[in-house]
Amino acid sequence: MPPTLKQRGFATLALSLLFIGLCTAATSAQEQRTWSDKTGKYKIEGKLKGVVEGKAVLLKSNGAEVKIDVKKLSDADQKYIEAHPPEDGDNPFESSDNPKSEGDKPEAAAKKAKVDWSDVQTLAIAPSGEEWKFKTPLSGPAKEPLKNKAIPLPPKSNFFEGVSGMAVNHSATRAVVVYGLDEPKPEGTTRLVLCDLSSGKTLLKTSTKGKLAPVALNDKGTQVLMRRAEFGFGNADRLEIWNLNPQGIEKALVWHPNDDATGGNRDVKWGAYLEDDRFLLLGANGRLALWKANSAEPVYSLQIDGGSGPAISPDRKLLAFSTGQQVGVLDLEKSEVVALQGTPHTPWPQLCFNPDGTLLACFSHGKLLVWNFADGKLYRDIPLTGIHVGGGGMVWPHPQFMLLGKSQLFDVENQVKMWTYNGGEAAEMVGLGQCAFVVNAGTDKPGALVVGPVPTPAFEKTLSAAKKQPDFFVLKPGTTVKLVLESLQDAQEREKVRSALTAKLKERGCEVGPNGTIDLVATAEAGEEREISYHGFGISPWKTHKVREYISKLTFNYQGKVCWQTQGSSVPGFIQLKEGETIDQVLRRSERPNYAVFQNVELPKMLMKPTGADGLGSSQVTVAGVQ
């Protein structure tokens, strides 16, 4: 090894700099070669253009420049510099500040796959066993919790650019955040950022033409499944497999998985990797299929509800699904349905396991159903009155708490909304008691992928103080409820309502009496006359009918303030005509109070004292973290 610069003095320094310059010039003239970092994990093709401020400038064949710290190159690539190993998990190949290209393969270079469903096995919706029975918990391998941190994301490129999705892989502890923009028209632009959740670093920032959204990320965090994300039915029908590497993205496969369907039924609704070479996809046509990732070939399919969101168990061996009328379990190792049972009507069901797989939840149409997964028995039937879940779905990072709409902390045990997370554009579970939130600060400031606790210490402190108040829960087992039914004009129906509500309250451990500490008020009032039309076979869709609507309302009041409320209409959502019957005749019969609302209502188990606040409080998710 030559003497150090300190030992040789200024003259030697000049000679050394001249030597490095000569080496740089000589190397630049060499042919393109493969460069490797110290670990051998990251490689890149290119010519050495020069050495600037301790970084080698590599020129790729497409004209893009990439800078790498010379000390992080392999021994073979940096003979004249002492070896200096990179940080663990650090990708040293950083794009230069002004790259000419982000390294994407042209879409034309991607292999186009054609799907043939003719010989694909269709699994039967019939359980192989006679009873629902599983051994729980179903936890996956234990992992160290991630550090709560904020991983920098680039500023939005345009005011109109938005987050089109985020995909997280727990095994890889990586996440991709994808942005979409309509410009330039007509193709639009997709930007992708790959983040390492363990190290808190950004591994890749790249962009490409078209508007696409992430479906799933593989176990190595090196391949992402993307779908077209243009507006309109049938425009989420194309899938692409992107390989992620230091140079950017390589579009490996392009195909249409549901080409045999029509219209919006071609759309891809859900997907998940099982291993690096297999993934599951659900189409709007209800076909759930297992695919080979390297060839886009379907292995088998199962017909379920196309508007549903299946859930994979924490140990990744089972998949819970819904047909709309049934909930079932697919054994992913045996490739067979092993359990199936009926459910209440569940339109657009979204399923989710708790962290250890002991409970399975289903959100559907303003209701949350929860089953004990071991035996399939219903554990909770919870009306979500006043809680907007929308398209946000749910994640369940904590044994007791889930995030509904990925922003509202809900206590599953006590059946009450507790807290709100504001500021996140997207959220996914990344570990036990932890979620990652995408936060954008605008077009001129960097955003962040924030890993934070769910629930927060601030919530736990607030909850602890609130529980010391004797009237924190104004409805709970043991509470005496006063029924207020005087506004129901039909005496016979009023007594039926009294009997039904009394039975429902006793099921929840409450008493009914005139000295109750909380009132349950039932009303049935005439509303406005409205116009309505029905669509169906033999019905003119443009014909409207006038009908007087009656609203049946049920309210829990505590000291004159509303704690909870639900209501139903007398106007039927759908009708079935008997022979010779008209729609007007059916509607005339509906012009009276709908007392069935009170018979069928699901009452809450617990209610907090109304304070005017949305739960106990809220946390703000910012680029600095969860406040």
Q: Where are the domains of the chain?
A: 5-95, 107-139+146-470, 474-608
* pLDDT confidence bin for 537, thresholds 50/70/90: low
Exposure string for 297-321, b = 16+ CB within 10 A, e = fewer: ebeebbebbbbbbbbbbbebebbbb
d(CA 595, CA 522): 10
d(CA 525, CA 539): 30
56 pLDDT above the threshold of 80: no
Mean pLDDT of 604-617: 82
Least confident of 46-50, 128-132, 235-239, 297-301: 46-50
614 pLDDT above the threshold of 80: no
d(CA 50, CA 340): 65
Mean pLDDT of 567-588: 78
Task: Copy the structure tokens of residue 350.
Answer: 């979204």
Write down the pLDDT at residue 374. Answer: 96
Question: Comparing 440 with 539, which gets the higher pLDDT?
Answer: 440
Write down the pLDDT at residue 591. Answer: 80
Least confident of 55-59, 123-127, 356-360: 55-59
Task: Copy the structure tokens of residue 448.
Answer: 């962040």
d(CA 369, CA 356): 18
Write down the pLDDT at residue 423. Answer: 92
d(CA 521, CA 506): 17
Q: CA quadruple 159, 429, 399, 307: dihedral positive or negative?
A: positive
Following CA atoms 264, 265, 269, 272 in sequence, which dihedral angle do they give, to the nearest 10 degrees?
Answer: -140
3-state secondary structure 313-326: CCCCCEEEEECCCE
d(CA 235, CA 296): 19
Least confident of 484-488, 503-507, 541-545: 541-545
Is the domain defined by 474-608 classed in CATH 1.10.260? no
Tens digit of each residue's pLDDT (9 = 90 or more) over 412-451: 988 888 999 999 989 999 999 999 999 987 778 899 999 9
DSSP state of 582: -
Look up residue 459 and give its amino acid: F
Task: Copy the structure tokens of residue 436.
Answer: 């990652």
Write down the pLDDT at residue 573. Answer: 66
| Number of other CB atoms surrounding residue 460 within 10 Å | 12
Question: Comparing 104 with 377, which gets the higher pLDDT?
Answer: 377
* pLDDT confidence bin for 232, thresholds 50/70/90: low
Write down the pLDDT at residue 1. Answer: 40
Q: What is the CA radius of gyration of the chain?
A: 30
Strand 511-512 and strand 480-484: the pairing is parallel
* pLDDT confidence bin for 541, thresholds 50/70/90: low
| Number of other CB atoms surrounding residue 356 within 10 Å | 17
3-state secondary structure 125-165: CCCCCCCCCCCCCCCCCCCCCCCCEEEEECCCCCCCCEEEE
In 3D, which of 346, 271, 275, 348 has the Cα closest to residue 311?
271
d(CA 47, CA 31): 7
Look up residue 365 and give its amino acid: H
Write down the pLDDT at residue 88. Answer: 39
545 pLDDT above the threshold of 60: yes
* pLDDT confidence bin for 364, thresholds 50/70/90: confident
d(CA 435, CA 450): 8
Write down the pLDDT at residue 134. Answer: 95
In 3D, which of 284, 216, 242 has the Cα closest to residue 105?
242
> What number of residues does the chain have?
627
Write down the pLDDT at residue 3. Answer: 45
101 pLDDT above the threshold of 90: no
Tens digit of each residue's pLDDT (9 = 90 or more) over 118-148: 999 999 988 877 789 999 999 877 788 899 8
Do 431 and 146 contact (CB within 8 A), yes or no? Answer: yes
Q: Is 372 exposed, middle or buried (0-12, 13-18, 19+ CB in 10 A)?
A: middle
12 pLDDT above the threshold of 60: no
Alpha helices in 424-533 (DSSP H): 457-467, 491-507
* pLDDT confidence bin for 16, thresholds 50/70/90: very low
Mean pLDDT of 311-339: 94
Task: Copy the structure tokens of residue 220.
Answer: 């190595």
Mean pLDDT of 192-213: 93
Write down the pLDDT at residue 64. Answer: 67
Least confident of 72-76, 292-296, 366-370, 517-521: 72-76
Do 577 and 590 contact (CB within 8 A), yes or no? Answer: no
Question: Comparing 200 with 103, which gets the higher pLDDT?
Answer: 200
Q: How many CA atoms lie within 13 A of 212 on its CB side?
A: 24
Mean pLDDT of 220-228: 94
Phi-psi region of 381 (alpha: psi -120 to 50; beta: other; left: phi over 0): beta
Mean pLDDT of 8-17: 37
* pLDDT confidence bin for 302, thresholds 50/70/90: very high
Tens digit of each residue's pLDDT (9 = 90 or more) over 141-173: 778 889 988 999 999 888 889 899 999 998 889
Mean pLDDT of 89-108: 42
Write down the pLDDT at residue 152. Answer: 93
- % of the chain with per-residue pLDDT over 70: 85
With a CB cutoff of 8 Å and minimum separation 6, the contacts of 348 are: 305, 307, 308, 364, 365
Per CATH, the number for 107-139+146-470 is 2.130.10.10
Per CATH, the number for 5-95 is 2.30.30.700
Question: Comparing 455 with 234, which gets the higher pLDDT?
Answer: 455
